[in-house]
Structure 1
Amino acid sequence: MSDLDTKDLDPKELDRLLKQAFAAATKLYQERGFQRRVGFGKRPALVSVDLANAWTRPGNPFTCDQDKMDAEIIPGMQRLLTAFRAANLPVIHVTTAYEITDREAPFTDMGLWHNKIPIDVVNLKDKDLWAIDSRIAPVEGEYTLLKKRASAFHGTELGGILRASGVDTILVTGVTACACVRTTLCDGLADGFRTIAVRECIGDRVPGVVDYNLFDIDAKFADVESVDTCVSYIEGLGAARIAAE
């Protein structure tokens, strides 16, 4: 769906239609045993997907909904980062960029994905494009992972470094709901991690996409939880650790 298709769409009407569809789907899912809970584990990590300038700032083909980015995603991420840092828990910032961006090159790290989407605009040489947004910039001790595909797990070291740190739960944030966030959650669950999608900290470009994907993800691949719930969980782990020392 393009901007031309959605610019005149009434958000209230879209929300009404989605809620109507979700109500019918919830009945079906629950009758068939879906929407079970995976739950929080004992040692979580925050996996922030593609909250880099090409996605979080205006003017790029990858730019996501700026209203949600500025009003919900970045403030929510700031709260999560504060909680994770206070509890001394792992934080992984994920970004995407390519070294060989010539679409006619006989060999490229873009693979075939550039035939579907404009990944050639995220050039590794232009660090400002793929740098994590300065409002949620990594601090010392946090890791920035460079990926080439949608999932943060596909062909990367993510699963290995999480397991090496004893992580059993991943709280996933970022963009986009329909692609990189979704596939990261799917692969995270497949790799044996408890998967939590942080509702307010997940965005996309097209109206309705976030709501639909979070509804469907919650039915099959992860628990969708609020920032408040996630922060309370992290703060509780920190308090328990301090009490045990």
Structure 2
Amino acid sequence: MAAIAPKARPWDGIIPAEELAIYRQAGWGSPTGIGSKPALLIIDVQYRSMGDKPLPIQEAILTMPTSCGEYGWRAVPHIARLIEVFRVIKAPILYPHVAPKGAHDRGQFENKVPGVMDVPQHAYEFVAEVAPKPGDILIPKFQASAFHGTALTSYLVGLGIDTLVVTGCTTSGCVRATVVDACALNFKVVVPQDAVYDRSQTSHAVNLFDIASKYADVLPADELADALLGQVAHS
């Protein structure tokens, strides 16, 4: 398949033009396209990162400090669209997710963000609109990267996967860490820009710029959906 080169950029107006010119001149950010065996990762799309209902983030964090508020809820329809496509093309869907934390799970991240130790049990449930179905693969994790200390690589190798579509949250945290590790393992990686989210929109945009420059292709979910369906139609 031809490499994907999206037109719209989430970092437009945030990364200065002179810095964009430096990256272009140096040759950063070449698109790599999609391989023949994609898998969809849905990272941490649980109520802990959303809140129980769509609210502005300033309100959402009053009851769920780990919530990304409306930014998470805006991503849900785009994640749902990709789930629909992956079911149509019969490609694997995997759910790396934050495992409930016990007292013995407190580490350096928890020391930096102690509020994560107080997330109520129900908040670890998957958001209903994009929840897994029988046959999907669940990957509980305790660190940012979906690869760290999990069986994710074994699943992907066993399934013959060559491309990862990474959705979920947060763009600057678990998504980025997973994307970097996936690139290091020589998977092609695609990040649909509107199917990932973060509590900081500046951090979201800057991290997508960095991801697109070094580790993955970044494009809108609808463009990616069309490309995946088109690839199957021409196979």
After TM superposition, the score normalised by the length of structure 2 is 0.85
Q: 2:69 maps to which residue? A: 65
Q: Which runs of structure 2 are paired with 1:143-182 in the superposition (5 Å)? A: 143-182=137-176
* Match 2:118 to one of 96, 107, 121: 121
Answer yes or no: is the 8 Å Cα contact 1:93–1:132 preserved in 2.
no
Q: Which amino acid aligns with 2:118?
A: V
Q: 2:87 maps to which residue? A: 85
Q: Verify: 1:200 aligned to 2:194, yes or no.
A: yes
* Match 2:24 to one of 27, 30, 38: 30
> Using the alignment, how far apart are the partners of 1:31 and 1:198 within structure 2?
25
Q: What is the aligned length?
A: 215
Over 3 Å counting, the alpha-carbon distance change for 1:147 and 1:36 in structure 2 is same
Q: Which amino acid aligns with 2:117?
A: D
Q: Which runs of 5+ in 1 are unaligned?
A: 1-16, 102-107
Answer yes or no: is the 8 Å Cα contact 1:153–1:184 preserved in 2.
yes
- Secondary structure in 2 matching 1:21: coil
Q: 1:6 maps to which residue? A: none
> Using the alignment, how far apart are the partners of 1:97 and 1:48 within structure 2?
14
Q: 1:231 maps to which residue? A: 225
* Match 1:50 to one of 30, 44, 53: 44
Answer yes or no: is the 8 Å Cα contact 1:87–1:237 preserved in 2.
no
Q: Which amino acid aligns with 1:60?
A: M
> Using the alignment, how far apart are the partners of 2:147 and 2:14 within structure 1?
34
Larger Rg: 1
Q: Greater shift after overlay, 165-174 or 34-43?
A: 34-43
TM-fit CA distance, 1:97? 2.5
> Using the alignment, how far apart are the partners of 1:178 and 1:44 within structure 2?
23
Q: CA RMSD in A?
A: 1.9
- Secondary structure in 2 matching 1:47: strand
Q: Verify: 1:96 aligned to 2:92, yes or no.
A: no
TM-fit CA distance, 1:240? 4.2
Q: 1:112 maps to which residue? A: 108
Answer yes or no: is the 8 Å Cα contact 2:15–2:206 preserved in 1.
no
Answer yes or no: is the 8 Å Cα contact 2:190–2:218 preserved in 1.
yes
TM-fit CA distance, 1:112? 2.3
> Using the alignment, how far apart are the partners of 2:144 and 2:164 within structure 1?
17
> Using the alignment, how far apart are the partners of 2:119 and 2:161 within structure 1?
30
* Match 1:220 to one of 191, 194, 214: 214
Q: 2:54 maps to which residue? A: none
> Using the alignment, how far apart are the partners of 1:50 and 1:170 within structure 2?
16
